[in-house]
């Protein structure tokens, strides 16, 4: 028996409506990555994480548990679980299973991004505990009603803090704010750019020439929806790294399978496995620019090839 899509999406929507995030994350956990960076609070330009990097360890733990229920008779009880979750945050226990090492890993990637922007002399602040989850995953899964309410909540947060420009850290958050928000939030006209776009425009120069051999995995969302294709390549071209293009790349990139995992684990893993083979054929380690792609391809690779976030390579080359 397949997983009950309606009940799973219902739990995520209920969490967003009641708890302002699809999965539980405390303010301390969401902002932990910024400790010691002395980022100014707020400002006209802010670095907005959208909480996706921070949520990935929890999403990973949840997806692992969901996969155990696929084709199980126990799926018929998910409706009961949804009703209980409205009163007791059942997904909180998923968060408790998240790997601490994985949390530190994704915190480091956010630190990389902030330090790269500082190195490029970009003037920006951070909203710390006032920052809200973007709503990206709920929109991606088609739960428009809950997303619309939350999008207004996020837009009000930016307006309250006088934000005029947003620097994003991942493709899903970039697309949600830049392309989707204007459709759902009347008058939303804040400028939104990915950190990769900002760095490419800044003229930042590398401190170290590196010899990394990389197979670059394009995010479907960046490449097909937001035209973020040449920027990461331009930044890598300065570093000395060898960039290998897989058979499907740029706007023709192949999906990582990740967005499907919570609903269709087997199909998600099949797609991810196919993509890993394509990237391995190109040669070198795999570089991603999306936390969902990263966790999906890492699991599919099963240690047969190194899979890293692009921010790690850029941090090494640009001296942060």
Please indicate, yes or no, whether residues 173 and 252 belong to a single structural domain of this protein: no
The mean pLDDT value for 295-312 works out to 96
Residue where a domain stops, chosen among 166, 199, 232: 199
Which pLDDT value is given to residue 1?
Answer: 46
In this structure, are 213 and 173 located in the same domain? no
CA atoms within 13 A on the CB side of 56: 27
Check pLDDT > 60 for residue 4: no
Is residue 62 located within the same domain as residue 161? yes
Same domain, 42 and 117: yes
Residue 70 has a pLDDT of 58
Rounded Cα gap, residues 221 and 52, in angstroms = 14
Query: Which of 90-99, 125-134, 184-193, 211-220 is predicted with the least confidence, judged by mean pLDDT?
Result: 90-99
Helices (H), 42-188: 52-69, 78-85, 92-96, 100-119, 136-140, 144-160, 171-175, 181-184
Q: How far is CA 30 from CA 191, 230, 307, in A?
A: 23, 30, 24
Which residues pair with residue 167 across a beta bridge? 47, 193
Distance CA 320, CA 315 (A): 5
Tell me the C-alpha distance between 63 and 28, whole Å. 23
Task: Give the pTM.
Answer: 0.89
Sheet holding 45-48, edge to edge: 45-48, 165-168, 191-194
Domain count, the chain: 2
Domain containing residue 25: 5-199
Among 149, 184, 199, which residue terminates a domain?
199
Report the CATH number at residue 267. Answer: 3.40.50
- Residues 48, 99, single domain; the answer is yes
Which residues pair with residue 309 across a beta bridge? 288
Q: Is the pLDDT of residue 140 over 80?
A: no
Residues 188 and 137 in one domain: yes
* pLDDT digit string, tens, across residues 78-132: 555 555 556 566 555 555 566 778 889 999 999 999 999 999 999 999 999 999 9
Same domain? For 184 and 39 the reply is yes
Tell which residue, 233, 219, 223, 18, has the closest CA to residue 133: 18
Do residues 22 and 148 share a domain? Answer: yes
- 21 and 146 part of one domain: yes
Q: Is 244 in the same domain as 220? A: yes
Question: Are residues 186 and 144 located together in one domain of the fold?
Answer: yes
Read off the pLDDT of residues 150-179 as tens digits, 9 standing for 90 and up: 999 999 999 999 999 999 999 999 999 999
Last residue of a domain, one of 157, 178, 199: 199
Q: Both 146 and 246 in a single domain?
A: no
Give the residue, 260 or 243, on which the prediction is more confident: 243
Query: What would the mean pLDDT of 177-183 be, rounded to a whole number?
Result: 97
Three-class DSSP category at 170: coil
Rounded (5°) CA angle 291-295-297? 115
Residues 272-280, mean pLDDT to the nearest whole number: 96
How far lies 49's CA from each of 37, 142, 148, 252, 259, in Å?
15, 22, 19, 27, 18
């Amino acid at each position: 028996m397949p997983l009950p899509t309606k009940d799973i999406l219902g739990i995520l929507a209920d969490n967003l409506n009641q708890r302002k995030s699809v999965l539980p994350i405390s303010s301390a956990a969401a902002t932990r990555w910024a400790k010691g960076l002395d980022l100014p609070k707020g400002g006209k330009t802010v670095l907005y994480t959208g909480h996706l990097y921070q949520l990935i360890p929890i999403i990973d733990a949840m997806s692992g548990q969901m996969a155990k229920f696929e084709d199980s008779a126990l799926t018929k009880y998910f409706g009961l679980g949804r009703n209980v979750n409205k009163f007791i945050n059942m997904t909180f226990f998923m968060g408790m299973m998240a790997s601490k090492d994985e949390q530190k890993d994704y915190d480091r990637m956010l630190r990389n991004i902030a330090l790269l922007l500082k190195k490029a002399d970009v003037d920006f602040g951070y909203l710390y505990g006032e920052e809200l989850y973007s709503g990206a995953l709920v929109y991606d899964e088609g739960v428009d009603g809950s997303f619309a309410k939350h999008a207004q909540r996020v837009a009000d947060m930016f307006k309250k803090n006088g934000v005029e420009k947003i620097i994003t850290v991942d493709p899903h958050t970039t697309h949600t704010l830049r392309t989707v928000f204007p459709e759902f939030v009347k008058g939303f006209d804040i400028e939104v750019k990915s950190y990769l776009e900002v760095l490419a425009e800044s003229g930042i120069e590398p401190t170290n020439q590196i010899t990394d051999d990389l197979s670059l995995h394009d995010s479907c969302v960046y490449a097909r929806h937001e035209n973020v294709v040449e920027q990461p390549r331009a930044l890598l071209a300065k570093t000395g790294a060898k960039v290998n293009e897989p058979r499907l790349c740029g706007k023709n990139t192949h999906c990582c399978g990740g967005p499907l995992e919570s609903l269709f684990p087997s199909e998600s893993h099949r797609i991810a496995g196919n993509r890993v083979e394509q990237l391995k054929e190109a040669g070198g380690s795999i570089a991603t620019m999306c936390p969902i792609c990263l966790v999906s391809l890492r699991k599919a690779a099963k240690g047969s090839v190194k899979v890293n976030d692009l921010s790690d390579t850029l941090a090494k080359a640009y001296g942060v």
